[in-house]
Amino acid sequence: MKLKSAIKMLAFTTAIAVSGLTFASSQSDEHAKAAGWNKGGGEQDAALHLTPDLENGLDVYEVCSACHLPEGWGTKEGTFPQLAGQHKKVIIKQLADIRALNRDNPTMYPFALPESIGDEQAIADVSAYIQKLLMNPDNGKGPATADLAKGKKLYVDNCVKCHGDIGQGDEAKFYPRISGQHYNYMLRQFEWIRDGKRRNANPDMVDQIKGFTQQDMVDVISYVSSIPLPEGDAAPSKDWLNPDFD
C-alpha cells in the first residue's frame, strides 16, 4: 500500500469510530426543516466552474472506495449507494450539500470534509472521475411480492417528467439518474424525501409523492430498480474490477 493510502486508511478507521457515535446520537434528533433544495452558490458553484483533473479525482476517490468500493458500485443491500454513472452535477451538488450539512450523512461526513479530501477542486475532480465509471450490471432489486406493472404506471404518472423515461435523470437540472441504483438505498431516500427528512430534496418531488403509501413506494422503486441500463453504461460483468485500482 502506498504511504498516502496508508495514512488515509488510518484517518478512515479513526473517523469511523467517531462517526459511529455521531450516527447513534443523530438518530434521536428530529431532522431539521428543509434549508432549500438548490440555492447554488458556495462550493457547488465553484466546483461546477472548475476544470476537473481526473488523475487527482482518482487519488481523492481512494478514500471514497472504502465504502463505495473501487468500482463505485456501493453495496447491493443498499447501505452504500452506487455512485458510478451518476451525473457530475448531481454528485457535486450532493457532496456540497453533505459538506454544508444540508443533507444528513453522519457516516460519510468526516471523509467528505476539506481536511480529508481538499477544497472545491477536489469535489470537481472526484465527481468527474466517478461519473465516467461503468455501472454495476447487477444492482439490488425489489422483493418478489412487488407489483411491477403497478410500479411502472406510478412511475410514468409521477416520475418520468423529472427522472426521464428510463430513469436517466437530467444533468442540466440536477435530477439524479436512478436506474441501476440499489433498491434498499432508493427506498430509504424516497421515504426520507416524502417525509421531509432529506433536507436538500426538491420540493416538487415532495409534493408529487406525498400521497404514496408504503406499497406504492415498494412497487414504484422495485420498478425503477428493474429498468435495464442502456448498452455501454454498465460493466461487461458483475465480476468486473476497476483497472485503476490494480
Could you list the residues that contact ligand HEC (CB under 6 A)?
37, 60, 63-64, 66-68, 79-81, 83, 86, 91, 93-95, 105, 107-108, 111-112, 117, 126, 154, 158-159, 161-163, 174-176, 178, 181, 186, 188-190, 200-202, 204-205, 208-209, 220, 224
Shortest gap between Cβ of 116 and ligand HEC (angstroms)? 7
State the DSSP code for 135.
B
Residue placing its CB nearer to ligand HEC in the complex, 188 or 240:
188
Shortest gap between Cβ of 87 and ligand HEC (angstroms)? 10
Shortest gap between Cβ of 146 and ligand HEC (angstroms)? 13
Shortest gap between Cβ of 85 and ligand HEC (angstroms)? 11
- Tell me if 167 sits within 8 A of 220, measured CB to CB: no
- Residue 104, all three cell numbers: 444528513
Amino acid at 209: I
> CA 98 to CA 113: how far, in whole Å?
9
**Residues sharing a CB contact under 8 Å with residue 192, sequence separation 6 or more, in sequence order:** 31, 198, 201
Residue placing its CB nearer to ligand HEC in the complex, 105 or 138:
105
> CA 175 to CA 69: how far, in whole Å?
24
- Tell me if 180 sits within 8 A of 229, measured CB to CB: yes
Shortest gap between Cβ of 80 and ligand HEC (angstroms)? 5
Residue placing its CB nearer to ligand HEC in the complex, 171 or 237:
171
CA 39 from centroid of its chain's CA atoms: 19
> CA 25 to CA 18: how far, in whole Å?
11
Shortest gap between Cβ of 221 and ligand HEC (angstroms)? 6
Residue placing its CB nearer to ligand HEC in the complex, 95 or 235:
95
Residue placing its CB nearer to ligand HEC in the complex, 134 or 154:
154
Residue placing its CB nearer to ligand HEC in the complex, 156 or 241:
156
Residue placing its CB nearer to ligand HEC in the complex, 56 or 202:
202
Shortest gap between Cβ of 236 and ligand HEC (angstroms)? 23
**Residues sharing a CB contact under 8 Å with residue 102, sequence separation 6 or more, in sequence order:** 35, 36, 199, 200
CA 197 from centroid of its chain's CA atoms: 16
Max alpha carbon distance in the chain (Å)?
Answer: 53
Q: Which residues pair with 170 in a beta bridge?
A: 175
Give the 3-state secondary structure of residue 81.
Answer: coil
